[in-house]
Amino acid sequence: MKIAIIQMDIAFGDPEANRRYVKQQVEQAVAEETIDLFVLPELWTTGYDLARFDQIAEQSGEITIGFIAKLAKQYQVNFVAGSIANAKETGYYNTLIVIDRQGELIKQYDKVHLFRLMEEEKFLQQGSIDGLFTIDDQQAAAVICYDIRFPEWVRTHMLNGAKVLFVVAEWPKPRIDHWRTLLISRAIENQCYVVACNRIGEDPNNMFGGHSMVIGPWGEIIAEADDQAMTLLANITWEEVDRVRKEIPVYQDRRTELYQSLDGFKKNRQI
């Protein structure tokens, strides 16, 4: 699968400008390469303009879903289309969308872990569903930014058959070393590909670090961007995940009876 990650600056609170930019980048990429799947960053239509979500959030994501679906169908490409400001009856959500080559919406994932340092909990509702989906007949998963600090959440998806983890983010520049280390760790411990798209640039309150990455199931960095706008390209092969998981059978050697609490340790502890 040939993947194109669109690492971009985001026009703060300006969905139309951001959609125009993405359209240009998609058109340029497909003119030069055969692409199977595009990845976009977190909240790429608005940025973290949370205080104006009541004005700029989309009702059920209809505008951007329609926009991406048209591109997907026109160029016969899949999209892990980042996340958007999404207005529902129950409040505002940070919602990731996945659209297939036929322009069909196949997954919506609301960010489960809200990031207090950027005041998400003051404006957004928490999600409560998984990020699992099937793309080109392969099982995959997607999460949003802060979610990668919760390895148990990522492992839950891998135990349900995912071979690749897509991560869409607006990860701040001061903690970009955490970003890189966490992504590599998630790949190694789950023996999966990690395909991560981060934004660049700044908004009124934050600077963002880029360094979008594709990491293999051994933890090797296949491709990595710097902190400039670019489209990062990489190939992944599903068979490589199977090979690595057979070589070191981590999933077979798990001791699940000990993982839920300390009770298992207490029962077997020698005094």
Query: Under DSSP, is residue 60 helix (H, G, I), strand (E, B) or coil?
Result: coil
Q: Taking the alpha carbons of 80, 85, 88, 93 in that order, is the dihedral positive or negative? A: positive
> What amino acid is encoded at 270 in this protein?
Q
CA distance 54 to 60: 13
- Residue among 69, 22, 77, 25 nearest 45 (CA): 22
Please state which of the ranges 113-117, 130-134, 258-262 shows the lowest mean pLDDT: 258-262
Pairing between β-strand 200-202 and β-strand 207-209 as defined by DSSP bridges: antiparallel
Assign 268 a pLDDT band (cuts: 50, 70, 90).
low
The single residue of 42, 58, 120, 170 carrying the catalytic annotation is 42
pLDDT of residue 165: 98
d(CA 214, CA 187): 10
pLDDT of residue 261: 65
pLDDT at 266 over 60: no
Q: pLDDT, tens digit, for every residue of 22-40?
A: 999 999 999 999 999 999 9
42: annotated active-site residue: yes
> 212, 112 in Cβ contact below 8 A?
no
145 is catalytic: yes
pLDDT at 271: 45
* Both tokens assigned to 152: 């148990």
Where b means 16+ CB within 10 Å and e means fewer, 70-105 reads: ebbeebebbbbbbbbbbbeeeebbbbbbbbbbebeb
Residue of 58, 107, 111, 170 with catalytic role: 111
pTM: 0.95
Segment 112-118 long-range contacts (CB within 8 Å, at least 24 positions apart):
112/143, 112/144, 112/147, 112/153, 113/146, 113/147, 113/149, 113/150, 113/153, 114/146, 115/145, 115/146, 118/48, 118/50, 118/205, 118/206
Question: 80 and 120 in contact (C-beta within 8 Å)?
Answer: no
The answer to whether 97 and 131 are in contact (CB under 8 A) is: no
Q: SS3 breakdown of the chain: % helix, strand, coil, rounded to 5? A: 35, 30, 35
Q: What is the mean pLDDT of residues 244-252?
A: 96
State yes or no: pLDDT of 251 exceeds 90: yes
Task: Give Cβ neighbours of residue 98 (< 8 Å, ≥ 6 apart).
Answer: 78, 79, 80, 81, 105, 106, 107, 108, 109, 133, 135, 142
221, β-bridge pairs: 215
pLDDT at 263: 55
Mean pLDDT of 128-155: 97
Mean pLDDT, all residues of the chain: 95
pLDDT attached to residue 120: 94
User: Please, are residues 135 and 141 in contact by the beta-carbon 8 Å criterion?
Assistant: no
Please report, for the chain, the start and end positions of each structural domain, with discontinuous segments joined by +: 2-268
> Active-site residue among 58, 145, 170, 197?
145
CATH architecture of 2-268: 4-Layer Sandwich (3.60)
According to DSSP, residue 39 is labeled E
191-207 pLDDT tens trace: 999 999 999 999 999 99
Is 173 annotated as catalytic? no
Q: Amino acid identity of 32?
A: E
Confidence of residue 269 (pLDDT cuts 50, 70, 90): low
